Amino acid sequence: MSTFQRDLSLTGQPPKTINLQQKIATVIGIIGLGILALFLMNVSLPHKAIWLTASLLLMTVGVLLFTRAAYANEHAGIKNHGVYFKSLSSRGFWAWALGIVLTLFYVVLYWFPQYLGLVTEGDNKGLIALFDPLSRLISGNPASQWFVYGTLYTLAILIFGIKFIYKYRHNRYEVIRTFSVMFFQLSFAFLIPEFLVALQLPYYDFKNIWPLNYELFAGYKIDEFISAGTIGLLMLIFGVISVFVITPILTYKYGKRWYCSWVCGCGGLAETAGDPFRHLSDKSQFAWKVERWVVHSVVVFVTVMTTAVVFSYLRQNESDSLSEYSPIENHAVFISALEGKPLHERVRNAQEANATAVYFINKEASEAPPRLSNTEGISIPFYVVSEVENSAALKEVRRGEAATFVLDGPEGQKVTVAEGASVSFFDNLWISKEFFIWFVIGLLTLVFGWAMLFRREQLAKDAKYGAIGYFVIVLSILLFTYFSTPWKLFFFDAYQLRKGYGFLIGAMFSGVIGVGFYPIFGSRVWCRFGCPMAAILGFQQRLFSRFRITTNGGQCISCGNCSTYCEMGIDVRAYAQKGENIVRSSCVGCGICSAVCPRGVLKLEDGPRKGRIEGKDVLLGTDIDLMNHVN
Amino acid sequence: MEHVVIIGNGIAGVTAARHIRKLSDKKITIISSEASHFFSRTALMYVYMGHMRWKDIEPYEPHFWKKNRIDLIQDYVTRVHTKEKKLDLEKGQPISYDILILATGSTTRTFDWPGLNFKGVQGLVTKQDLENLEQNAPNKDVCRRAVIVGGGLIGVELAEMLRTRDIEVSFLVREGAFWTGTLPLPEAKMLSEHIASHGVDMQHHTELKEILGDDEGNVRAVVTNKGTEIPCDLVGITTGVTPNIKFLETSDIETDRGILVNEHLETNIPNVYAIGDCAQQRNAIGKRPPVEAVWYTGRIMGKTVAQTLCGNPTTYQPGHWFNSAKFFDIEYQTYGWVFSEKKKSEDEVHFHWKHPNKEICITFAYHRRSREFLGVNTFGIRMRHEVFDRWLQEKRSIDEVIQHLSQANFDPEFYTQYHSLIQKKFMTNATITA
């Protein structure tokens, strides 16, 4: 019954097929892709810059011509004719073909970059070599698989963004929103990080906020920030502020759309290149249930993982944790803390790890310098240097320059660290692991307690059970593993946790399934089922925001366009036909439900929290008492 | 346990069932011959246009009915025995009821045109009509031209549907512009132009006289009242709808055009109610016609009858008139009454504003002397139902309404606002008349 309209329509007729100009445009675009394929197959041609330009240009021209052919002769307005008749947009042959190609691309990108031509030592080959000229132009470095990916990703958002804008040219919300995602992708995600690298600063996409950017607080990233001095520190602080301050404020004011459909790169691709597939999202209640469990589990996972990673970083920063396995071979080691095990043991541990010398930075000039109470078996030198007297030298040594230290003590002896010598600093972070653990526990308790105390009437039963369950489990494991040695929070090595998360969530979920399956499951699978950032923003949106989609009184005719074209699989109609406003944590505020509504029923708005959800019974003829007063 | 049987699974019957379930534990059965599950009739067009699949226009998932203990029977009721409280079914065994709700909706209204029986002549009301359309007009090769008769809401929908498949359409409109029976002339003209701009051959002042067929019984052409013969493969009859009550001819339920009901939606037979398109009010409510084939009135009647049946006798009060529609790309909303030139009273005055070069316009109706705001038609501007309902309720003056127009705007964010232009023209007009 549900497919009679497909069985009966013959091939080769509008709106099922694309017109001749669109076919020509498709061929042009595919030639552009073909150039990439040639290089992928290691056909090495000279003049890479020209070939690259030609390829990108052909793809651009192809998409723009396609857009023109599709919409130029049409009135401005909704363009969904034949969406469910076309193979590509209704899970037909072309949809599967595209899905498989995209999936393969992601598999190669994440796990086999050598097939794209990545060469770690020496010149790149193949596809990656093709992008070398552009990469050198922007940052001065050779391309990597991520540069190739970033370029194609940005190009897709830009050209399909233009297509989207033209498609929705009658709708200013869509036009402005799309310009916004195009801007953020091109500048924040693509150019600025490359420029930062060119300036010898850490690679940083400022709009890529933790936990979407799950590596932001990984040890190597923090090291990068810290070693970049003040600017690096500001970046790190910005990263913390963006998740704890900027995000809640903007989400309170505008809902999570400010991020998910105005700024975010994943959302940007979904809204532009993914637009033809938006209706494929699953609208069933079952899918909604799966969504709630899966996405919130990812939040738990990322929180656990990040906590473990930061904890382990802080722990490793303590000289107390020095051991023969510490990566300090041939390093001059600087320490400055006394709590924990005796100083001589630390020095011995450093020696076992083949450090060259241990410097104790004495921060309290007034106090007597500490001494080793036991020098048995210690053969590397141990120096105590005053921080005040050696501030210049400390800076020099961090920069890798030669530095001369004045030792504490009446003699005023001097020791020089040679230029380019490896150094390791310990005890130089202002937060301790204790502080961090209690901060995490405090924050989780605060959020949990707030939701349970002040929003419990808005939480469904399974939400309450889920929250309580996760909260109790996470906190118990956290406390248990914290108070037991050997300092592995959550039983696993932090590095393993991060690797596991990166593989399962970062690569498999957001890449392979998220984008690879666009033509099968729709464009927002990652955003809906996987993105922990979207889940946190959604939590705020549902419980603490002024945003809602208003239902216009009794005008809804239950046609189902809103639900069908909701990329997040929200059954918008279920609310609209009851006259209720839509306040759902997953809503990314793309505005398409409002656009496709034939009766002007839906409007995205920010307004007072009072009366945000309830319907206007009087307009629906439900409020019997009030109705008696009408007419 | 009382057994409530509802004939018809459209918006009225299904709303009644849902609300009876909300309020009580009665046994509920819905009988429909049209479709196994409730679907949105207003969305039939989107299935043909490829915007949605059939299952997308069903507002509830199949498990909904079982969960809410609403039994569905797909069968046709041939006869109602009110004395025995029993229904005869075409296929299944007779079924008895304690309470009967008739919600059988409408069917295409036709006139006495010769040739209505040819294959390719159809309306667009039911699921079967949609299936027929897929047969009769699958593409522009099978259906080279369609003639649509009757310039109303269904006619323009059918035209839009056929145009998505590039099928040539001739639209016969009795008046000089589209839907002038309802709309003031400036609006009707704008719509006529818009429909024509989508490649529809608008034939104003033209009526159907006869439908011609070929030897195989397929439609071949139509003849208009001007004597022109238009060759075609499809004739869409969209001259309105009429209550679907033929099966009641043998019963003692009182009917006129529709099933006659009082303000509690009760028929002349106790425990038999009628709601939705098939019901006819014995006493008209306000300026509403006694038979109203409108989505939301069906919904309100369903809720009302559920209240009455569950111990809270309630009168049917649909409130201030409102409605909406979409004509190709132009959205239309109306709140309160704006009558066409033909129907409006002496005292109803119109203030009309149209954008100089966009297809956006608005018409306000107000009382000549009291200046009471009576209603508004808006095209291309979305308005807030709640606000206009309140203004109508408070009997605001036209001057206040125009002054506070921005409060009622419901367009998406960042849309260009036109109140100041509208206000300016209103002030200028006022100065001229003064």
pLDDT tens, position by position, A121-170: 888 888 999 999 999 999 888 999 999 999 999 999 999 999 999 999 99
Give the pLDDT band of residue A620 (cuts 50, 70, 90).
low
In a domain, B317, yes or no: no
Give the pLDDT band of residue A275 (cuts 50, 70, 90).
very high
In this prediction, residue A615 carries a pLDDT of 62
Least confident of A320-324, B80-84, B371-375: A320-324
Give the pLDDT band of residue A272 (cuts 50, 70, 90).
very high
Same domain, B14 and B86: yes
pLDDT above 90 coverage of chain A, percent = 55
Tens of pLDDT, residues B348-364: 999 999 999 999 999 99
In this prediction, residue A486 carries a pLDDT of 60
Query: Which one of B195, B221, B239 terminates a domain?
Result: B239
In a domain, B177, yes or no: yes
Flag whether pLDDT at B337 surpasses 90. yes
Mean pLDDT computed over A36-48: 87
Taking the C-alpha atoms of residue B433 and residue A471, their distance in angstroms, rounded to an integer, is 72
Of the residues B11, B44, B56, the best mutation for testing chain A's interface (the one with the most A CB atoms within 10 Å of its CB) is: B56
In a domain, B116, yes or no: no
In this prediction, residue A7 carries a pLDDT of 38
Flag whether pLDDT at A3 surpasses 60. no
In this prediction, residue B203 carries a pLDDT of 97
Mean pLDDT computed over B398-425: 96
Interchain proximity A5–B314, CB inside 8 Å? no
Q: Which of B138, B382, B383 sits opposite A8 (nearest CB)?
A: B138
Give the pLDDT band of residue A219 (cuts 50, 70, 90).
confident
Give the pLDDT band of residue A627 (cuts 50, 70, 90).
very low
Same domain, B224 and B256: no
Same domain, B100 and B58: yes
Interchain proximity A75–B134, CB inside 8 Å? no
Give the pLDDT band of residue A15 (cuts 50, 70, 90).
confident
Query: Own/partner pairs for B363-372, CB < 8 Å, 24+ apart?
Result: B363/B184, B363/B186, B363/B187, B363/B338, B364/B338, B364/B398, B364/B401, B364/B402, B365/B336, B365/B337, B365/B338, B365/B339, B366/B397, B366/B398, B370/B397, B371/B397, B371/B398, B371/B399, B372/B396, B372/B397, B372/B398
List the structure tokens of B103. Answer: 């919600």
Flag whether pLDDT at A611 surpasses 80. no
Give the pLDDT band of residue A328 (cuts 50, 70, 90).
confident
Flag whether pLDDT at A628 surpasses 60. no
Chain B positions touching A171 (Cβ under 8 A) are 412
Same domain, B127 and B226: yes
**A199 interfacial to chain B (CB closer than 8 Å):** no
Chain B positions touching A13 (Cβ under 8 A) are 138-141, 165-166
Chain A (531-550) residues lying within 8 Å, Cβ to Cβ, of chain B: 550
Flag whether pLDDT at A629 surpasses 50. no
Mean pLDDT computed over A565-583: 95
CATH number of the domain within which B204 lies = 3.50.50.60
In this prediction, residue A2 carries a pLDDT of 39
Taking the C-alpha atoms of residue B235 and residue A88, their distance in angstroms, rounded to an integer, is 33
Flag whether pLDDT at B91 surpasses 70. yes
Mean pLDDT computed over A335-354: 87
Give the pLDDT band of residue A8 (cuts 50, 70, 90).
very low
Same domain, B211 and B360: no
Q: Which of B42, B317, B412 sits opposite A171 (nearest CB)?
A: B412
In a domain, B316, yes or no: no
Taking the C-alpha atoms of residue A517 and residue A270, their distance in angstroms, rounded to an integer, is 11
Angle separating helix axes A433-454 and A285-317, nearest 10 degrees: 160
Give the pLDDT band of residue B294 (cuts 50, 70, 90).
very high
Same domain, B340 and B418: yes
Interchain proximity B47–A591, CB inside 8 Å? no
Give the pLDDT band of residue B97 (cuts 50, 70, 90).
very high
Q: Tell me: ipTM over 0.90.
A: yes
Mean pLDDT computed over A43-65: 93
Tens of pLDDT, residues B160-196: 999 999 999 999 999 999 999 999 999 999 999 999 9
Tens of pLDDT, residues B319-328: 999 999 999 9
In this prediction, residue A407 carries a pLDDT of 86
List the structure tokens of B86. Answer: 């029993």
CATH number of the domain within which B391 lies = 3.30.390.30
In the beta sheet, which residues pair with residue B322?
A: B335
In this prediction, residue A10 carries a pLDDT of 43
In this prediction, residue A483 carries a pLDDT of 80
Mean pLDDT computed over A294-306: 92
In this prediction, residue A410 carries a pLDDT of 75
Chain A positions touching B307 (Cβ under 8 A) are 624
Q: Where are the alpha helices (DSSP H) in B95-170?
A: 127-136, 153-164
Give the pLDDT band of residue B433 (cuts 50, 70, 90).
low
Q: Which residues contact A510 (CB under 8 A, 6 or more apart)?
A: A266, A526, A530, A531
Task: Please count the residue pairs, one from chain A and one from chain B, whose beta carbons lie less than 8 angstroms apart.
Answer: 199
In a domain, B113, yes or no: no
Q: Which of B36, B166, B412 sits opposite A603 (nearest CB)?
A: B412
**A551 interfacial to chain B (CB closer than 8 Å):** no
Q: CA nearest B167 in A: which residue?
A: A14
Element of type H or E holding B58? none
Q: Identify whether the C-beta of residue A157 lies closer than 8 Å to the C-beta of residue A181.
A: yes
Q: CA nearest B43 in A: which residue?
A: A559
**A578 interfacial to chain B (CB closer than 8 Å):** no
Same domain, B21 and B168: no
Q: pTM to 2 decimals?
A: 0.92
Query: Could you count the other beta carbons within 10 Å of the beta carbon of residue A273?
Result: 22
Same domain, B220 and B302: no
pLDDT above 70 coverage of chain B, percent = 99
Q: Which residue has the higher pLDDT, A319 or A591?
A: A591
In this prediction, residue A378 carries a pLDDT of 87
Chain B positions touching A599 (Cβ under 8 A) are 324-326, 331, 333
Same domain, B166 and B218: yes
Q: Which residue has the higher pLDDT, A33 or B431?
A: A33
In a domain, B64, yes or no: yes
In a domain, B314, yes or no: no
Q: Which residue has the higher pLDDT, A445 or A614?
A: A445
- The sign one gets for the Cα dihedral A112, A113, A115, A118 is negative
Least confident of A52-56, A111-115, B49-53, B117-121: A111-115
**Residue ranges of domains in chain A, CATH in brackets:** 4-74+112-200 (no CATH), 289-316+432-526 (no CATH), 320-425 (3.50.30), 544-627 (3.30.70.20)
Q: Which of B307, B383, B414 sits opposite A173 (nearest CB)?
A: B414
Same domain, B230 and B246: no
**A618 interfacial to chain B (CB closer than 8 Å):** yes
Of the residues A180, A282, A552, A581, the best mutation for testing chain B's interface (the one with the most B CB atoms within 10 Å of its CB) is: A552
Q: Which residues contact A563 (CB under 8 A, 6 or more apart)?
A: A283, A570, A571, A572, A573, A574, A593, B56
Taking the C-alpha atoms of residue A66 and residue A18, their distance in angstroms, rounded to an integer, is 9
Mean pLDDT computed over B282-287: 93
In a domain, B271, yes or no: yes
Tens of pLDDT, residues A437-474: 899 999 999 999 999 998 888 888 888 899 999 999 88
In this prediction, residue A508 carries a pLDDT of 86
Same domain, B144 and B208: yes
Query: Which one of B214, B239, B264 terminates a domain?
Result: B239
Same domain, B251 and B206: no
Interchain proximity B331–A176, CB inside 8 Å? no
Question: What one-character DSSP code corresponds to residue A186?
Answer: I
Least confident of A414-418, B69-73, B224-228, B231-235: A414-418
Flag whether pLDDT at A357 surpasses 80. yes
Flag whether pLDDT at B298 surpasses 70. yes
Per the structure, the count of domains in chain B is 3
- Is the peptide bond prior to B184 cis by the omega test (within 30 degrees of 0)? no
Q: Which residue has the higher pLDDT, A72 or A1?
A: A72
Containing structural domain, residue B44: 3-107+242-309
Q: CA nearest A598 in B: which residue?
A: B326
Q: Identify whether the C-beta of residue A533 lies closer than 8 Å to the C-beta of residue A298.
A: no
Chain A (56-95) residues lying within 8 Å, Cβ to Cβ, of chain B: 75-78, 80-86
pLDDT above 70 coverage of chain A, percent = 95
User: What does pLDDT average to over chain A?
Assistant: 88
Of the residues A7, A599, A601, A605, the best mutation for testing chain B's interface (the one with the most B CB atoms within 10 Å of its CB) is: A599
In this prediction, residue A630 carries a pLDDT of 40
Question: What one-character DSSP code corresponds to residue A301?
Answer: H
Q: Identify whether the C-beta of residue A317 lies closer than 8 Å to the C-beta of residue A348.
A: no
Count, residues in chain A? 631
User: What does pLDDT average to over chain B?
Assistant: 96
Of the residues B9, B18, B45, B52, the best mutation for testing chain A's interface (the one with the most A CB atoms within 10 Å of its CB) is: B52
Interchain proximity B50–A8, CB inside 8 Å? no
C-alpha distances (whole Å) from B267 to each of A354, B100, B106, B296 are 99, 10, 18, 21
Strands B241-243 and B229-231: unpaired
Residue A52 Cα, gap to closest chain B Cα (Å) = 38
Q: Identify whether the C-beta of residue B304 lies closer than 8 Å to the C-beta of residue B17.
A: no
Query: Which one of B239, B269, B286 terminates a domain?
Result: B239
List the structure tokens of A500. Answer: 């596991």
